[in-house]
Amino acid sequence: MVTTPNGFDLDTTGRRIVVDPVTRIEGHMRCEVNVDDDGVIRNAVSTGTMWRGLEVILKGRDPRDAWAFTERICGVCTGTHALTSVRAVEDALGITIPDNANSIRNMMQLNLEIHDHVVHFYHLHALDWVNPVNALRADPKATSELQQAVSPSHPLSSPGYFRDVQNRLKKFVESGQLGLFKNGYWDNPAYLLPPEADLMATTHYLEALDLQKEIVKVHTIFGGKNPHPNWLVGGVPCPINVHSTGAVGAINMERLNLVSSIIDKCIEFNKNVYIPDVKAIGGFYKNWLYGGGLSSQACLAYGDIPENPNDFSPEQLHLPRGAIINGNLNEVLDVDPRDPDQVQEFVDHSWYDYGTPGKGLHPWDGVTEPRYELGPNAKGTKTNIKELDEAAKYSWIKAPRWKGHAMEVGPLARYVVGYAKGHEDIKDQVDGFLRDMDLPFDAIFSTLGRTAARALESEYCGRLQKHFFDKLITNIKNGDESTANIEKWDPSTWPKEAKGVGMTEAPRGALGHWIKIKDGRIENYQCVVPTTWNGSPRDTAGNIGAFEASLMNTPMERPDEPVEILRTLHSFDPCLACSTHVMSPDGEELTEVKVR
């Protein structure tokens, strides 16, 4: 038994369970745990199993292009890397953006938060709580009554509607071709919903699938497509023309009306479906309060959604900035991404090499030399891993730390930081939720709390999206149609050398890009992304990361069926393509490796 510096007792003597692939996530991930004789998790090992090397690819490129490259880090949180990138470039070159560009960017970012949260809950996470096979046993009439009780204003609630969906499911299941539901753990006692709640939630899985394609049209209008809309250093690429000839080629009244109608749809869905579902499902799981992990002791948020352009001071941000350590919610520390002692990455347990063990490096000075090797106690071979050795290197994810602390990031971290700072909207939401659920404050430090925070945030982002739409209209009314600042578009206007930082709150948490520009080209580019924080392996001191911490001490109904592991890992909405792409900033050549 070992106690980690961040207070977790690790016991590796019990049976080892391997989950690979971890599904319903973005990218590739593996998880190993040891369970004791009672099936309780006593050791957890989380491994990022992919690496793409995007930052070395960025070296020497035009900084104005970087948004497109970094956007391709992730197609699920599409756009958020692009926004972070244009912010980093603008920060480096001292470029300010117009008010309209700020409103449009905020709407796009908020739109992504809502889309991402909805798709995550219904299509990646729901099957950890909801049993679609059990839904076949539901009484449609009782389901209708349940629907009307939990959400009186949702129009799709008749017994006939639920009967139709149930019949469709029935035919699907009886066809023998179970598709995505194949080999699910449908008789596992970890599923607690009555059939009617299962039918209601499964129905909403389908409703959300229809809705999500509508939500993203805000990106399509302002950025031309989704996934991967277009962005612009200095503002946004879409011009505004609401009055004159040629308006049909720009953001005009028809486009704005479409945006407005989608914003309303988001608000309606959050209010009528998403929040009521989380409360209804959560109600049946309110005694399953495992998975808190680091959330009660170490949370980090960079903050986002600036009310005014070019002002990132904490009090101007709608999503809060701050850090909480040692579980002290009475003190929220400020975060400075430029401070070399705050954000540092460690690689002692990652498949990289710094030369010197135990070193932590700030992203501006980071070094990444891949070094894939398994520890002496690993089982299997280098190309057929049976069990990893977490005492050695075991992940393609680095271990970022804030002042040496392993941190949780994401909706729950944002809400904990916001709550601790007395953010009024967040406090109202959290208090209201806990009151409705009849749960104490500490209940938010859990898998369920993480899932609930995401839903509450989706609701809040819906309101903010409307706020920035109104702000855009007001500004246009006042005669300002400007959307881009081109003063420094031409690289000849740039200084010989510059460096900058861009920060956002991606749906999954704090996201930072660090850029160095030299002679008009990218000299160095580093991203430290949410799942690098949450999914980090152990650091030099032995602190475990947020995923690993969250799995600790969770009992499993059937250790061979990882329902509980999936439920808690999914509550972070892991994004592995994001987390595992770091590369050498000084452009060191990769060690030549054997080519098949």
Minimum Å distance from CB 262 to another protein? 10
In 10 A of CB 200, how many CB atoms? Answer: 30
Phi, psi of 36 (to 5 degrees): -85, -175
Q: Count residues binding another protein (CB under 8 A).
A: 115
Q: What distance lies between CA 68 and its chain's CA centroid?
A: 19
DSSP 3-state of 38: coil
One residue of 21, 94, 422, 432 binding another protein per CB under 8 A? 21
Q: For another protein, which stretch binds (CB under 8 A), given 165-173, 283-291, 420-428, 436-444?
A: 165-173
Query: Based on C-alpha coordinates, what's the Rg of the chain?
Result: 24
One residue of 72, 117, 349, 398 binding another protein per CB under 8 A? 72
Q: For another protein, which stretch binds (CB under 8 A), given 16-24, 272-280, 290-298, 453-461?
A: 16-24
One residue of 221, 452, 510, 582 binding another protein per CB under 8 A? 221
* Position 183 contacts another protein (CB under 8 A): yes
186, 300, 129, 190: which is closest to 554 by C-alpha? 190
71, 106, 87: which is closest to 226 by C-alpha? 71
Are 515 and 88 a contacting pair, CB within 8 Å? Answer: yes
Sign of CA dihedral 309, 312, 314, 320: positive
465, 463, 505: which is closest to 103 by C-alpha? 465
The DSSP line for 186-235 is: TT-TT----HHHHHHHHHHHHHHHHHHHHHTHHHHHHHSSSSS---BTTB
Q: Which of residues 247-266 bind another protein (CB under 8 A)?
A: 247-250, 258
Q: Which is nearer to another protein, 496 or 594 (CB)?
A: 594
* Position 74 contacts another protein (CB under 8 A): yes
One residue of 383, 424, 492, 496 binding another protein per CB under 8 A? 383
Interface map 264-303 toward another protein (x if CB under 8 A): ----------------------------------------
d(CA 469, CA 143): 37
One residue of 16, 141, 163, 228 binding another protein per CB under 8 A? 228
Q: Which of residues 121-160 bind another protein (CB under 8 A)?
A: 123-124, 127
Are 130 and 192 a contacting pair, CB within 8 Å? Answer: no
* Position 220 contacts another protein (CB under 8 A): yes
Minimum Å distance from CB 219 to another protein? 8
Q: Which is nearer to another protein, 48 or 360 (CB)?
A: 48
Residue 15 tokens, joined:
């049976």
Q: Which of residues 26-45 bind another protein (CB under 8 A)?
A: 26-28, 30
Q: For another protein, which stretch binds (CB under 8 A), given 137-145, 147-155, 181-189, 462-470?
A: 181-189
Interface map 531-570 toward another protein (x if CB under 8 A): -----------------------------xxx---x----
Q: Which of residues 395-424 bind another protein (CB under 8 A)?
A: 396
Gap between the terminal Cα atoms of the chain: 41
Phi, psi of 98 (to 5 degrees): -70, 160
Minimum Å distance from CB 439 to another protein? 28
Sign of CA dihedral 20, 25, 29, 34: negative
Q: Which of residues 424-483 bind another protein (CB under 8 A)?
A: 481-483
Does 238 carry a binding-site annotation? no
Residue 139 tokens, joined:
């009484």
* Position 54 contacts another protein (CB under 8 A): yes
Minimum Å distance from CB 210 to another protein? 6
d(CA 568, CA 33): 13
Are 499 and 516 a contacting pair, CB within 8 Å? Answer: yes
Residues at the annotated binding site for Ni(2+)?
Answer: 74, 77, 575
Annotated binding site: 55, 74, 77, 575, 578, 581
